A = this chain, B = another copy of it.
């Protein structure tokens, strides 16, 4: 990348950032349909027209709201060498749900709504869908556990990953449906103890 951005480029990047930040804020309070482009531009202190410089359609800004950090979770988790595999999975789930809570209900809703129809896009360089990435992330953690000889080689890595991802998606849904009245993280913790613990124990070396 060109380190020497012109003033113009720098300012363009700032405008984009302001729009995303504003969108985050208004979407935390109103549903996507209830939020108008003007709500966003007004809060960003930018003209209506500018919105369309950065986003072709209103809904495109949602994709931009989710920053990359969530996608690197698997790597982060695998670096936690002091945690055993069960704890690492727990850490992954907790972090995952934490980020979702941080974005707020409406973002979560909108994200789910958008994601329900699969669109491939570039995630960390690879062209894939989000659910595939999530599945891969968990599989990577499990695979790493096998490599480290924490988990037996015959562990059904794909199924366990599916089990976890489905649970995460299901919890997100419940969180949205209950208007946030369910404490997803605490709930997830209890569910793990209930199910995941047994599962992983079964294959622990």
Q: Is the interface of A mostly helix, strand, loop or mixed?
A: helix
Query: Of A33, A130, A179, A194, which is in contact with the most chain B CB atoms at under 10 Å from its CB?
Result: A194
* A198 proximal to B (CB < 8 A): yes
Q: Taking CB as reference atom, which chain B residue is nearest A110?
A: B116
Of A18-26, A59-67, A82-90, A157-165, the one touching chain B: A157-165
Other-chain contact of A112, B165, B167, B173, B195 (Cβ < 8 Å): B173
The total of chain A residues at the interface (CB under 8 A) is 40
Residue-wise, chain A 139-174 has the 8 Å CB interface mask toward B (1 for contact) of 000000000000000001001101101111111111
Considering the complex, which residues of chain A in the window 34-79 have a beta carbon less than 8 Å from any beta carbon of chain B? none
* A196 proximal to B (CB < 8 A): yes
* A199 proximal to B (CB < 8 A): yes
* A11 proximal to B (CB < 8 A): no
Q: How far is the CB of A44 from chain B (nearest CB, A)?
A: 20
Contact between A113 and B113, CB atoms less than 8 A apart: yes
State whether A116 and B156 are in contact (beta carbons under 8 Å apart), knowing that A166-B171, A169-B169, A198-B195 are contacts in the complex: no
Contact between B33 and A177, CB atoms less than 8 A apart: no
Other-chain contact of A166, B174, B198, B202 (Cβ < 8 Å): B174
Contact between B167 and A167, CB atoms less than 8 A apart: yes
A contacts, CB < 8 Å to B: 31, 33, 109, 112-113, 115-118, 129-131, 156, 159-160, 162-163, 165-174, 176-179, 187, 190-191, 194-196, 198-199, 202
